[in-house]
Chains A and B, each alone.
Chain A
Amino acid sequence: MTPFNAIDVRKDFPILARSFNGKPLCYLDSTATTQKPKSVIDALTAYYSQSNANIHRGLYALAEESTNLYEGARARVARFINAARPEEIIFTRNTTESINLVAHAWGRKNLKEGDEILITAMEHHANFVPWYQLSKEKGVVLKVAPLTAAHTVDLDALKKLLSPRTKLVAVTAMSNVLGTIVPVEEIIAMAHSVGAKVLIDAAQSVPHFKTDVQAMGADWIAFSAHKMLGPTGIGILWGRYDILDAMDPFMGGGEMISIVSVEKTTWAQVPQKFEAGTPNIADAVAFVPALDYLDRLGLDAVREHEKELLAYAIARLSENPDLKLYGPLNVEKQGGVLSFNHKVVHAHDVGTIVSEEGVAIRVGHHCAQPLMKALKVSSTVRASFYIYNTKADVDALVSALARVNQVFGLASGGSR
């Protein structure tokens, strides 16, 4: 593993040259979406300037070129996560749609009243609401594994909730709020031992850790291009081929059919079966340079970089007696995400005040209200790190947070 220099990385991201209110942009919200390198932005322009045509239909050279680029993107994603074959990659709009696809195309067909779905208390709403909806529609029981005091998934409790009635375990690989890294391999083994299928919400893990779906052993994983340097509008569902093959289609329309007639309409093969209509060709194509960029840096180096920033951020923010930090606070068990609250000032007010210093952080419930309830808070402030962040960003956050006490007229460490 060769470490990289984030100062050099920053030069590839045009947006990082912006300033707000006279202060350079300090972007600490990559968990929501990452910024894009110039190679991705250029690929979008190049596709529309040079290669645009609808795919899979035209017999002319341009349509062949476009089809090759789109299918090339599928193969590139497959290689990135070590999928057994490119057909196992289904392009969707985002992680949310990928999970909904499984809920509709697998869940509706295979789940019946009394079956159980097991999730954890730290799921994003994307991996909660589709199962909640399915439970209401089908009479399926939705069970939630709790957290430990250290803000990790309580594996003992999770194990006790598993039974032969458990048909699906749907868990995040990394919390978007706490940064907690979930031991998914262990959970997959436990779930498979009772015959349950496993879906991994990998939106926060694939961008930050090396992912090998064959080694991991899940049945499906879902993630989004825009959280890993790629364009918005592209999500990925990976599934084991035999499982995808046995699933119903998701939406009906063009591209997803084999033969259409009123008497009998048959479905196309995987993956076209799940990609009705003209897909988001340009954004899939422009996702390729994002993956090239990450592979060039190396995912192991990305992880090391984030560990270093997280350790520094935990240390610096811990110096502030007014802040309460959440999560494992251990770089081995936590990705580059740090949630905290000011003891007196609400997360919203903190967000507004640091924004004036050019610092972009996320405040609110982070689409994880069940987790907020478990933490007994309504919202948190969240800083998250990626390849272009440096210790200077953490320092900027620390200085901006000092403004909070100033604006509210509070002494440091004091109460209201």
Chain B
Amino acid sequence: MEKVQGGAMGGVDELYREVILDHFKAPKNRGELDNANAKAEGLNPLCGDQMTMAVFIDGGAIKDIRFDGHGCAISQSAASMLTALVKGRKLSDVLGLTSTYKKMFGINDGVKAEFVFDDLGDLISLEGVKKYPARIKCALLSANTLLESIADFEKKGA
């Protein structure tokens, strides 16, 4: 059988796995963070979706994190999964994890990472998005916004 994008076998049911819908319906780390010292706003110009990342960084690690905004199930669940994954991690690990996450969609951001896809927690359930090229931006919105907030923090500290 010819394999087509989002084909009948699996298709969108495969894309919208239960774990994704669970995060979408009951997102983790959603809301505001009063003691945030790193913040960035991400925008998906394709659809107008916005996302804010608010992070509290201390001792070179993410101590607390919240995301806010509106968007599709892919962008919202990715933000929920990502924030759950990086909470408590060293900044260097966060860069490696987001780089590994991007590799899942065939994107190499040049960061040397010692992680494998299995280290990505629930984010690995978003692998199916790579069959929908127009939606990869949705999956990456939170990761790119988080990286911006870290860059902003490091610039302030420098």
Contacts and interface: CB of A to CB of B under 8 A. Distances in A.
A273 B27 CA distance: 59
Contact of B11 (A21, A363, A369): A21
Contact of A379 (B7, B13, B49): B49
B25 A416 contact: yes
A220 B15 CA distance: 48
A345 B73 contact: yes
A378 B4 contact: no
Contacts of A349: 16, 72-74
Interface residues of chain B: helix, strand, loop or mixed (majority): mixed
Nearest to A354: B12
Nearest to A378: B48
B97 to A, nearest CB: 25
B47 interface: yes
Contacts of B73: 345-346, 349, 408
Contacts of B103: none
* Highest count of chain B CB atoms <10 Å: which of A21, A346, A347, A364: A346
B71 interface: yes
A369 B8 CA distance: 35
A356 B6 contact: yes
A355 B6 contact: yes
Contact of A409 (B21, B74, B76): B21
A364 B135 contact: no
Nearest to B22: A409
A407 B17 CA distance: 9
Nearest to B45: A365
Contacts of B25: 416
Contacts of B70: 346, 378
Nearest to A408: B21
B47 A363 contact: yes
A409 B24 CA distance: 12
A285 to B, nearest CB: 34
Contacts of B12: 352-353, 356, 403, 407
A355 to B, nearest CB: 7
B21 A378 contact: no
Given A346-B73, A348-B135, A352-B135, A364 B8 contact: no
A407 B16 contact: yes
B39 to A, nearest CB: 20
A147 interface: no
Interface in A1-59: 20-22
A206 B4 CA distance: 37
Interface in B24-48: 25, 46-48
Interface in A363-412: 363-365, 369, 372, 378-379, 403, 407-409
Nearest to B46: A364
Interface string A85-97: 0000000000000
B47 A378 contact: yes
B132 interface: yes
A37 to B, nearest CB: 27
B15 A369 contact: no
B74 A348 contact: yes
A352 B8 contact: no
B50 interface: yes
Contacts of B16: 349, 353, 407-408
Contacts of A364: 46-48
A110 to B, nearest CB: 33
B132 A352 contact: yes
B138 interface: yes
A346 B21 contact: no
B75 to A, nearest CB: 8
Contacts of B74: 348-349
Given A347-B47, A416-B25, A407 B135 contact: no
11 contacts: A346-B71, A346-B73, A349-B16, A364-B47, A378-B48, A378-B71, A379-B48, A403-B12, A408-B16, A408-B73, A416-B25
Given A21-B4, A349-B72, 7 more contacts: A345-B73, A346-B73, A352-B15, A352-B135, A372-B48, A378-B48, A378-B50
Interface of A: 20-22, 345-349, 352-353, 355-356, 363-365, 369, 372, 378-379, 403, 407-409, 416
Pairs A-B, 6 closest by C-beta atoms: A346-B72, A348-B72, A365-B48, A378-B48, A364-B47, A349-B73
